[in-house]
Amino acid sequence: MAETATHEFVQNLKELPGTVKDACFRTGKLPESEREESQATFHNLFLHIHSVRVHLRSLNPTLTFGLGLIAAASFIITLITGVLLMVYYKPSTDLAYQSMKDIHFTVYTGRFIRNIHRWAAQVMVLVVLLHMARVFFTASYKKPREFNWLVGLGLLVITLALSFTGYLLPWDQLAYWAITIGSNIANSPRELTDAIGITQWFDPGGFQKQLLLGANYVGQDALIRFYVLHVFILPLVLVTLMGVHFWRIRKDGGLAKPEDSPGGLAEWGGERREVFQPLATKTYGLMALVKGKRPTVNRGPENTVMSWPHLFWAELAVFMLTVAITLVLAFYSDAPLKELANPAIPENPAKAPWYFLGLQELVSYSAFMGGLLIPVIVLVGLALIPFLDRRAGGEGVWFGEKGEKGVFWQSLVFAIAITVGMLAFTVNFGWLRSWFPKIHQLWIIAINPGSLLVVVFAAWSLWVLRRRNSVRLAAVSLFTCFLVGFTLLTYFATVHRGPNWHFYWWPSQWPLH
């Protein structure tokens, strides 16, 4: 067939849609065989972080409840809505509040977008906490996943930092007084250095406060710093850590799960499947790719299914669920916007968003102990868990170790009793300053309801360690105490603290003023 260049050109022009599509999508069509399904996964930049096959146990919704995915999905939602809000938001003390009003009242879908942003952020904070609890109670932090537990803690801190910097930006009453209180918490090492009289030589508090505010007062310099943190630095760190987090899940051998027993039959999803018998003569070159005690072959690939489509359907469903929940919440409930920032007087009571209210209760005992030292102690304690509890067993099973449920319930009751007792005592009898007004501040920093809770919880955990003779059970008791303490303090400060941070049974009893 003698073709001219013109003919070829026309022919290529006709085939253009197909050739462009083939150039964009490497396989060019939806996969039909398992081989093509595997290629669809690992030939795609966005999908190749997944393994080609996924264990049936990892797909079981009650193992994870999709919490990590919901956290990631809600972050993507905040990212998109956040960029949209940046179109109108102006980080200036004169204009910020007005631009919030513009977003609410003059921008098409502005209020809705802001509501979605705010609700997705709230969902993210809640779900990140739940995700941490899930990983803990399924012992999924154990070797080789210690590092990913640390990355997860980093993500928790960044998530909270993003939430904090986020509600500073509208420059309303909540924002102004949150910056004031936040920067003074950063300044609170002065409570200690003042008490022992070394502030003029050693002043980490003053340094931190100045770093956050960039000025002697809360104003434009502080707003622009928190804006840069919120829209650039923190999201960048979060995305980086998320990447590492996901990558390590894969490299650590997928979601934590108990070993499949080699040989024989295993029951999965109502089907009985044969499990591979490992052959001593065989060498497994893939061993080096994924950390683990044995190559995947030994785990029985019969208990896995293709990631395309099973895992991707599940991920898509969780993403859609997150979007749906966020949209419904955003539709029915507006993100709050208080009055314009007024440096003369805070609201009464001036309450932080719910996830910081437990912290606010602790801070109301001692700024340094409650605002800095206890959070640091808690974070260090959480970070140490996988390095102190190193005995394998129970990974990927809820309350997998013998006696774990018992310890959980005991610790739950114990921690509730102690926390409620401590709060009731404090409300009824006050604390050291009320009894001895002249007492040295060091006593109050050292001995207050918050620090006592930490000590009692630690003592309880050590007692469990000795009595039950298991590091894992001691960790379970401590983590349960932490969860109860966090939840009860948050509840208490939300419902039972009113004007002047006094105790009230119900917000309806607050005095009018």
Residues in touch with another protein (CB under 8 A): 177, 180-181, 183-185, 188, 191, 194-195, 210-211, 214-217, 219, 221, 225, 343-350, 360, 363-367, 370-371, 430, 433-434, 437, 441, 444, 499-502
Q: Which is nearer to another protein, 51 or 193 (CB)?
A: 193
Q: Which is nearer to another protein, 92 or 210 (CB)?
A: 210
Rg (CA), the chain: 27
Q: How many CB atoms lie within 10 A of CB 126?
A: 16
Least Å distance, CB 215 to another protein, is 5
Identify residue 488 by its one-letter amino acid code: L
DSSP string over 404-468: HHHHHHHHHHHHHHHHHHHHHHHHHH--HHHH-TT--HHHHHHSSHHHHHHHHHHHHHHHHHHHH
Q: Which is nearer to another protein, 54 or 444 (CB)?
A: 444
Least Å distance, CB 180 to another protein, is 5
Least Å distance, CB 437 to another protein, is 6
DSSP string over 327-390: HHHHHHSPPP--SBP-TT---SS----HHHHHHHHHHTT-HHIIIIIHHHHHHHHHHHHHHH--
Q: Which is nearer to another protein, 71 or 357 (CB)?
A: 357
Q: Which is nearer to another protein, 12 or 348 (CB)?
A: 348
- Kindly report the length of the chain: 513
Q: Which is nearer to another protein, 74 or 187 (CB)?
A: 187
Spatial CA neighbour of 117 closest among 337, 347, 313? 337
Spatial CA neighbour of 505 closest among 349, 497, 513, 350? 497
Least Å distance, CB 500 to another protein, is 5
The 10 Å CB-count burial string (b at 16+, else e) for 467-501 is ebebebbbbbbbbbbbbbbbebbbebbbebbbeee
Least Å distance, CB 441 to another protein, is 5
Q: How many CB atoms lie within 10 A of CB 343?
A: 11
Least Å distance, CB 221 to another protein, is 6
Least Å distance, CB 188 to another protein, is 8
Q: Which is nearer to another protein, 128 or 186 (CB)?
A: 186
Least Å distance, CB 507 to another protein, is 15
Q: Which is nearer to another protein, 216 or 283 (CB)?
A: 216
List Cα–Cα distances, 467 to 271, 391, 400, 407, 460, in angstroms. 42, 18, 19, 11, 10
